[in-house]
Structure 1
Amino acid sequence: MSEIEPWLTELLRLNDEEEKMTDKQIKIVQAAVEIFSEKGFAGSSTSEIAQKAGVAEGTIFRHYKTKKELLLSIVAPMMSKLIAPFAVKDFTKVLEADYPDVEQFLRAITVNRLEFARKHFPIIKIFMHEIPFHNELREQFKETVAVLVLEKAYKAIRHFQKQGQLIELPEPTAMRLIVSTIMGFLITRFLLVPDSEWDEEKEIDYTIKFILYGLSPR
């Protein structure tokens, strides 16, 4: 397994606030994230997680009753204690800042999400894989992120629409088009071709120009 990654350091910090993880738990969690991230929850087994962690399979079940409990023990605290606060505190600062034009607004969002994805992508990848299949994760996302961020994003969209910098579309539609473009950039960067040579500044420019070309009035 690889050395401790930034996401695992954060998870250990979060768990230390309640219950310190044992060395074996750390190995299990690190192995589980690597395997869940690579194969998905359904395609993974506790036996291969145990093998990768260098522990007996029974050790996993002493700490986690089921494979799903292991999944939720990783993703749930990251979502509720790290990702959600980050989205609310850090991301809303970006959304609420005063930008002279929509291009600078989009650039700030893209750079903010790029840096967040760079630090936490293994967990984000698992979340993206599993949210369609686990109601617990879907509901948690709605409660901790979507509700808290969306209205602020809609407010920014309304602001630039009133200024004539964005065309008049329903706010959810405009938001979907912006988010899907930025997410496409991030997924390509970190998931599809992570080892390719990237000029991130140029790619950010291309992404923003694509959004503006589709949303700016002509």
Structure 2
Amino acid sequence: MNNQLKSLFKEYRDILIDTNLTDKQKDIIRAALELFADKGYEGTTTQAIAQKAKVSEKTLFKYFNSKQELFRQTVYPAMLQALQPMLIERTEKILGKGNDYHDILHAVFKDRVEFAIENTDVIKLVLQELLLSQEFREVMSQFVKQDVFPRISQVFQTLSEAEHSRIPLSSLIRVVLSLLAGYVITRTILLPDQEWDDEKEIQFMLDILFNGIDNPSL
């Protein structure tokens, strides 16, 4: 597993210790998260987790039916806990500056692209789990609805009113996020070795957003 993910999981290995868990469950979760961070999913065995947690494999399986279940109950919360400040707190700082909405959107786009470049392996893992795991899709859906969407709606409401847009707010947000996500995925995952001019691409996306594809100002 990449060092980026290792540091992420190790940093957040204590975040999911629910008060309803037994001490043995807590030990198993901490051990699992640390081993998943060091060795990845394939390189981690339930025997190694049990040994690190100082319990028997029988005890481990008493609480967790499989290694996959344990992975989901440790890695998923760690990812969400890490993504929250990465996605929300950084964006809130930008929104709190109170600049013109054009400047705010430019700053948001620039920050999201920089975030994706800095955390490519996290992005890959999130996309992988979104495609493969219904459970993770549900977790992320709740995260977006409860934590992300309410915070970004305000700036888009301002944008919609300023542009006198008749597009529903939810549709406007989808358009903007689609533009940004499309660039980020292409930039960091599909064609990472291509020469990119991020500032030029951001300006181009914003120009499409404000002026339409048939009336570019560039």
Q: Structure 2-normalised TM-score?
A: 0.71
Matched, 1:74 2:75: yes
1:147 counterpart residue number = 146
Distance 1:29 1:172, change over 3 A: same
Match among 37, 45, 54 for residue 29 of structure 1: 37
In 2, distance between residues paired with 1:158 and 1:199?
29
1:39 counterpart residue number = none
Q: What is the SS of the residue equivalent to 1:131?
A: helix
Shift, 1:175, TM fit: 0.3
1:35 counterpart residue number = none
Give the letter for the 1:163 counterpart: A
Q: What is the SS of the residue equivalent to 1:15?
A: coil
2:23 counterpart residue number = none
In 1, distance between residues paired with 2:138 and 2:166?
30
1:94 counterpart residue number = 94
Give the letter for the 2:37 counterpart: V
Please identify the structure whose Cα radius of gyration is greater.
Answer: 2
In 2, distance between residues paired with 1:57 and 1:69?
9
CA deviations over 1:172-202 (Å, ceiling 9, x no partner): 1000000000001100111101112222222
Contact 2:45 2:67 in 1 (8 A): no
Contact 1:28 1:60 in 2 (8 A): no
Contact 2:10 2:33 in 1 (8 A): no
CA deviations over 1:17-53 (Å, ceiling 9, x no partner): 667966x965643543xxxxxxxxxxxxx6xx22xxx
Give the letter for the 1:189 counterpart: R
In 1, distance between residues paired with 2:96 and 2:135?
30
Distance 1:199 1:30, change over 3 A: farther
Shift, 1:106, TM fit: 1.8
1:108 counterpart residue number = 107
1:136 counterpart residue number = 135
Give the letter for the 1:198 counterpart: W
Contact 2:6 2:38 in 1 (8 A): yes
Q: Structure 1-normalised TM-score?
A: 0.71
In 2, distance between residues paired with 1:10 and 1:142?
21
Gaps of 5+ in 1: 33-45
Distance 1:71 1:30, change over 3 A: farther
Give the letter for the 2:181 counterpart: M
2:173 counterpart residue number = 175
Give the letter for the 2:193 counterpart: D
Contact 1:131 1:138 in 2 (8 A): yes
1:9 counterpart residue number = 7
In 1, distance between residues paired with 2:200 and 2:117?
17
Higher RCO (C-alpha under 8 Å, 6+ residues apart): 1
CA deviations over 1:113-152 (Å, ceiling 9, x no partner): 1222223222222222222543432232233333222133
Q: What is the SS of the residue equivalent to 1:157?
A: helix
